[in-house]
């Protein structure tokens, strides 16, 4: 076993790979909308993007790929973790919705978010299986083109939330 290699993307050499990446992303039209990965989804509810490095196939999480792209293709430090500020695991809108930092920075963000946006956490299932189910629903909602209402219903698990009064 070799140590995991940090992901790098060469804007010239990997041009076709980058085009393939964006062809699996549906961008919401709004300034605050998510950009949703509509390619493969793993059992953990996160996307899977297959790339080839050094002659080997390798699956990466699309939001991490997007973070590297936003970094000009240069690798991020291996110990950095990524965080979805929008709570949508399939979102690849790096910078605005997906950020990366040291684990310390991110745990602080999570604590803040838990206080400020606790309402959202209700829809953040604790298990990978639930998250995968939700991610597949979200993907199905936007795969044929952005539909904000279908997207929100899928995200919140239509029929799953308590009756309004």
Where along the sequence are the contacts to Zn ion (CB under 5 A)? 34, 86, 88, 91, 93, 97
Contact 146, 28 (CB under 8 A): yes
Give the residue carrying structure tokens 């297959």.
50
Q: Please identify, using beta-carbon distances, which residue of 7 and 26 lies nearer to Zn ion.
A: 26
Q: Please identify, using beta-carbon distances, which residue of 14 and 93 lies nearer to Zn ion.
A: 93
Q: Minimum CB separation from Zn ion for residue 36, in Å?
A: 8
Contact 36, 46 (CB under 8 A): no
Q: Please identify, using beta-carbon distances, which residue of 132 and 138 lies nearer to Zn ion.
A: 138
**Rounded to an integer, what distance in angstroms lies between the CA atom of residue 76 and that of residue 7?**
7
Q: Minimum CB separation from Zn ion for residue 41, in Å?
A: 16
Q: Minimum CB separation from Zn ion for residue 96, in Å?
A: 8
DSSP string for 29-73: SSTT--EEE-SEE-TTS-EEEEEEETTEEEEE-HHHHHHHHHTTT
Q: Minimum CB separation from Zn ion for residue 33, in Å?
A: 7
Q: Please identify, using beta-carbon distances, which residue of 25 and 68 lies nearer to Zn ion.
A: 25
């Amino acid at each position: 076993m070799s140590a995991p290699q940090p992901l790098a993307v060469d804007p010239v050499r990997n041009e076709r790979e980058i085009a393939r990446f964006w062809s699996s992303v549906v961008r919401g039209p709004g300034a605050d909308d998510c950009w949703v990965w509509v390619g493969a989804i793993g059992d953990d509810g996160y996307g899977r993007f297959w790339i080839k490095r050094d002659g080997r196939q390798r699956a990466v999480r699309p939001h991490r790929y997007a973070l590297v792209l936003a970094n000009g293709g240069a690798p991020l430090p291996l110990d950095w973790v990524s965080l979805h500020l929008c709570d949508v695991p399939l979102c690849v809108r790096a910078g605005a919705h997906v950020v990366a930092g040291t684990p310390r920075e991110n745990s602080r963000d999570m604590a803040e978010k838990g206080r400020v946006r606790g309402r959202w956490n209700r829809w953040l299932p604790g298990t990978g299986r639930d998250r995968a189910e939700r991610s597949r629903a979200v993907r199905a909602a936007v795969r044929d083109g952005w539909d904000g209402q279908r997207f929100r219903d899928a995200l919140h698990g239509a029929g799953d939330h308590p009756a309004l009064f």
